[in-house]
Structure 1
Amino acid sequence: MMKNIKITLSLLLMISLSSCDEFLSETPDNRTEINTADKISELLVNAYPNGGTYMDFAETMTDNVADGQLSESLPKNTQNYNWEMQDETNVDTQTNYWDACYRAIAHANKALQAINELGNPSSLNPQKGEALLARAYSHFMLVSFWSQRYNPATADKDLGIPYVTEPEEVLIKKYTRNTVKEVFDFLQKDIEEGLKLVGNDYTEPKFHFTKEAANAFASRFYLVKGDWDKVLEVSAGLGSKPVGKLRNYLAFTNLDPNVQFIEYAKATEPANLLIVSAYSIYARASSRNRFYLAGDRSANILGSSTNIFGKTWLYKTYSYNSSMTVFSPKFKEYFKYTNLTANIGQPYLGTVLLSNDEFYLNRIEALVMKNRIAEANTELEYFFGTRTTGYNAATDKLTEAKVVDKYPVIDNEYTPYYAMTPVQTSYVKAIAETRRRDFIHEGIRYFDMKRFNIEVIHETFGKPANTLIKDDKRRALQIPLSASSNGVEKNPR
């Protein structure tokens, strides 16, 4: 198939690139000239982090997981659970994802350079918009994991990540870390310019930034920044009670679990906005990870006691061989054989990076923070209804009193950098718990855990509990050795 080649980059060290990217490893005189819209579009196929998934390490660091007491534990799973730096660099590790993001950024920057060299014609606006958004997405994920949470009061002093805006033209280039403020300023610039330019004209639109996916990503960014007006602006197209745009859990959970595995990340699912096919073995986590969604933790998150209408949720979990760990069928591994005789190949996993489900919840949270509680109530009731068994719109009503009673304010539990009223706190907590349920296994809880500075306690059978306190330095992952050994400053510990 495609011949693998290697290029040394200071942040990535030795990374593999396919022959369709061969120009990246050649001297300028020998590179294939990227001088047409088709060639730029082909380049942008690789502008998304597809060398692994963040979901394994992100999910394991949250309060969604517990000790399933399997007889053995993978080292990386134990290290993630204890918020330790991983000493592995293979698939689905922290280093692997860091590399995948900067590799994606390199492709986006090369596309932008090619567009600039062609004179920035308006005919290439869609490609330019996609490149800017893809570059922003990977940088956003990097700063979310490897820096402390965004706080405008300290952002100009907090260590961010290197924001790379130019293709590498030298063998080894030294990078310094931008501040979190600088990173967020770069992100906003790329996102806002990209939103103006990006289009929907793709052969496989769900694997690219479309206008809808771009707006969903922007809503996530503005939510972190606390810019509620912008969240509402980019999500206006969803409308009220977006029928047909959210995942139909009633239909989904009535399918055989083996079919659910396939259906969850399908491009034909209306709720899915951006999908990536990543080199990953995360689909095996439920039977290999000791620290996973254990049975008692599952009941606390997905059990009927958490349903505000007093009914059961439509979410279903399963287990292998009476294991103490359970799973929601979301990940289907596809194996690509490179040598049938030797039974050798690479596992791939379709993962949903952005969805209307998250997009809608972001909008509801912004409504709450703008004190538009009545509207937020209407939308949240609708969302709960799409996830509730036997929901009756005429009798299952959501009220402010119910939300405040079900999600009481606990002193010092949710502490974002901005102030919230008691009513806002109850609603934000309700939304965060809803997001937690909906995206179990997908690592989304990590972003809320960090944004709201939620304390997390991890217990291991036979050992003292390990607590991630508020503002714990371990909330920012340690910079990979491959980067720190090339001059990128480490995070304090």
Structure 2
Amino acid sequence: MKNIKYIKITLALLLIITLSSCDEFLSEVPDNRTQIDTPDKISELLVNAYPEASYLDFAETMSDNVADAGLNNSNIKNEQSYYWEMHDQTNVDSEGNYWDACYKAIAHANQALESIKKLGDPAGLNPQKGEALLARAYAHFMLVTFWSNRYNPATAAKDLGVPYVTEPETELLKSYKRNSLQEVFDFIQKDLEEGLRYVTNDYKEPKFHFNKEAANAFASRFYLVKGDWDKVLSVSASLGSKPEGKLKDYATLSSLAPDVQFIEYGKSSYSANLLIASPNTLVARSASGSNYYLTDGKQTELFGAQTSFYNKPWLFDFYSYNSSSTLFTPKFEEYFKYTNLTANIGIPYAGVVLLSNDELYLNRIEALVMKGRVEEANTELEYFLGTRTAGYNPATDKLTEAKVVAKYPVIADEFTPFYSLTALQTSYIKAIAEARRRDFVHEGLRWLDVKRFNLVVSRNDPGNPVKTLAKDDKRRALQIPLSASNYGIEKNSR
């Protein structure tokens, strides 16, 4: 086990953001409001159309990627997420903070779209229009992913979604109602597909905006949830077969020192990274401050050599802070902005990868399986796993249907999406989900698969009764934050 020293930064941070909050120029009376009336101003506005908070910590902790490390700490949010309880805090990395940040991002996207409309909706502003539509669709998708039931076309018209906001906020405390889950998905698809027509790569820093590739990666995630395999294959077609140079280069990353890996993982220069954000988050410190995190036992369960199809070590590196019993792989570099040097307080940020070619490629492989193109999917999955395996030899390290079925046999009532699976598809879907689980450890995407496939998660903590998140458990949809329910947003049933 590798250990690195860690110096903890004292933090005093208070965020008070309500559902109806917006920047000062959006809440001032019209006579004093900054006029968003030029392409440059609209582009500047769209910088804020991405959530400035993070879901990574609470989503990861709700999943089966973590366990009880037996640490004596008081990270209340971490414990509440672990047991699928509503956060009673609204500060950094809380559920309520992310909800507010998403609607704040949506408010900026809507103001940009309104300004474009007032300028006559000229074709010259189509790139900004495309970015605004995609940003609005993305924020709503993440909201409905966490705060609603999983998508099922048979029940979506009756299930509660989230408020889909399409107009700038002009009232201080406007009343909103939740759209149905189906309505939200229809709105997302409309915004997404229109945005795909207009989006460009014409930015000074394209990886910090919805560019064409990032838009396709988001579209693949959305269509995967809907079960629209043809569209997943369409938006991922540019990757081609065995996309050399387009995936994370773990062979190189694993050769670097951990302090360098922190920076390298989220760099915009990596072709694999498609959309990068710098939200206010403490996720870079999770391994040192969280009891419910990646433990030694979980690390062995997920990343031991015996878990590889090729019986070789994975290329993922793991470290601990000062011999802590929780582990991390270097992904998040923290940037601390001091607001008061004398008091040693400020705001932490971290560079995170929101969308990548790695996810897009796995989504494509899953769609190939669901279309019955298993032989093609096997070829692509063999290549993907090889890029994550130490000493991989493409001439001798082969993936076969027999290996996939043997390693991931069908278990009755385990993977239960809303659509049917054959036995062979079930084994391959599980293999892909496990590959995704490892690739995006710490990044929260495992929770999306737990929810999409209706997977059961159990908490086997020593000395305590086993606690289980059963199939269709109502806690899979987070409870609406008080900042929203206090203003009339209907709560989820419990």
* Contact 1:219–1:231 (Cα < 8 Å) also in 2: yes
Determine the structure 2 residue equivalent to 1:432. Answer: 433
- One-letter identity of the residue aligned with 1:370: K
1:22-69 Cα deviation digits (max 9, x unpaired) = 32121123211111110000000000001x210010000000000001
How big is the shift at 1:182?
0.2
Determine the structure 1 residue equivalent to 2:4. Answer: none
Q: Distance in 2 between matches of 1:474 and 1:279?
A: 26
Q: Distance in 1 between matches of 2:121 and 2:258?
A: 48
Q: Distance in 2 between matches of 1:462 and 1:364?
A: 41
How big is the shift at 1:463?
1.4
1:83-136 Cα deviation digits (max 9, x unpaired) = 001100000000000000000000000000000000110000000000000000
Determine the structure 1 residue equivalent to 2:469. Answer: 468
How big is the shift at 1:475?
0.2
* Contact 2:27–2:170 (Cα < 8 Å) also in 1: no
Determine the structure 2 residue equivalent to 1:120. Answer: 121
Q: Which runs of 5+ in 2 are unaligned?
A: 1-15
- One-letter identity of the residue aligned with 1:292: Y
Q: Distance in 1 between matches of 2:79 and 2:24?
A: 38
State the TM-score, normalized to the length of structure 2: 0.96
Q: How does 1:253-264 map to 2 (within 5 A)?
A: 253-264=254-265
- One-letter identity of the residue aligned with 2:418: Y
How big is the shift at 1:340?
2.6
User: Post-superposition, which runs of at least 4 consecutive aligned residues in structure 1 deviate over 2 A?
Assistant: 338-344, 459-462
How big is the shift at 1:321?
2.5
Q: How does 1:59-458 map to 2 (within 5 A)?
A: 59-458=60-459
1:366 is paired with a residue whose SS is helix
For 2:30, which of 28, 31, 48 is the aligned residue? Answer: 28
2:338 is paired with a residue whose SS is strand
RMSD between aligned alpha carbons?
Answer: 1.3
How big is the shift at 1:322?
2.3
1:363-405 Cα deviation digits (max 9, x unpaired) = 0000000000111011001001100111001111111111111
Aligned length: 480
1:397 is paired with a residue whose SS is coil
Q: Distance in 2 between matches of 1:334 and 1:202?
A: 23
2:319 is paired with a residue whose SS is coil
* Contact 2:75–2:290 (Cα < 8 Å) also in 1: yes
Q: Distance in 2 between matches of 1:315 and 1:56?
A: 20
2:196 is paired with a residue whose SS is helix
* Contact 2:137–2:191 (Cα < 8 Å) also in 1: yes
* Contact 1:23–1:31 (Cα < 8 Å) also in 2: yes
Q: Distance in 2 between matches of 1:96 and 1:488?
A: 16
- One-letter identity of the residue aligned with 1:209: F
2:201 is paired with a residue whose SS is coil
Identity %: 68
- One-letter identity of the residue aligned with 1:196: R
How big is the shift at 1:461?
3.1
- One-letter identity of the residue aligned with 2:230: D
2:353 is paired with a residue whose SS is strand
Determine the structure 2 residue equivalent to 1:38. Answer: 40
* Contact 1:22–1:32 (Cα < 8 Å) also in 2: no
Q: Distance in 1 between matches of 2:80 and 2:430?
A: 28
* Contact 2:90–2:97 (Cα < 8 Å) also in 1: yes
- One-letter identity of the residue aligned with 1:197: Y
How big is the shift at 1:427?
0.4
1:416-452 Cα deviation digits (max 9, x unpaired) = 0000100000000000000000000000000000000
* Contact 1:72–1:290 (Cα < 8 Å) also in 2: yes
- One-letter identity of the residue aligned with 1:22: E
Q: Distance in 2 between matches of 1:28 and 1:462?
A: 61
- One-letter identity of the residue aligned with 1:464: P
* Contact 1:132–1:191 (Cα < 8 Å) also in 2: yes
* Contact 2:84–2:475 (Cα < 8 Å) also in 1: yes
- One-letter identity of the residue aligned with 1:25: S
1:278 is paired with a residue whose SS is coil
Q: Distance in 2 between matches of 1:459 and 1:126?
A: 50
1:23 is paired with a residue whose SS is helix
* Contact 2:133–2:195 (Cα < 8 Å) also in 1: yes
2:135 is paired with a residue whose SS is helix
- One-letter identity of the residue aligned with 1:56: D
1:329 is paired with a residue whose SS is coil
Q: Distance in 1 between matches of 2:401 and 2:50?
A: 41
State the TM-score, normalized to the length of structure 1: 0.96
How big is the shift at 1:261?
0.8
2:320 is paired with a residue whose SS is coil
Determine the structure 2 residue equivalent to 1:12. Answer: 19
How big is the shift at 1:464?
1.1
Q: Distance in 2 between matches of 1:73 and 1:411?
A: 39
- One-letter identity of the residue aligned with 1:450: K
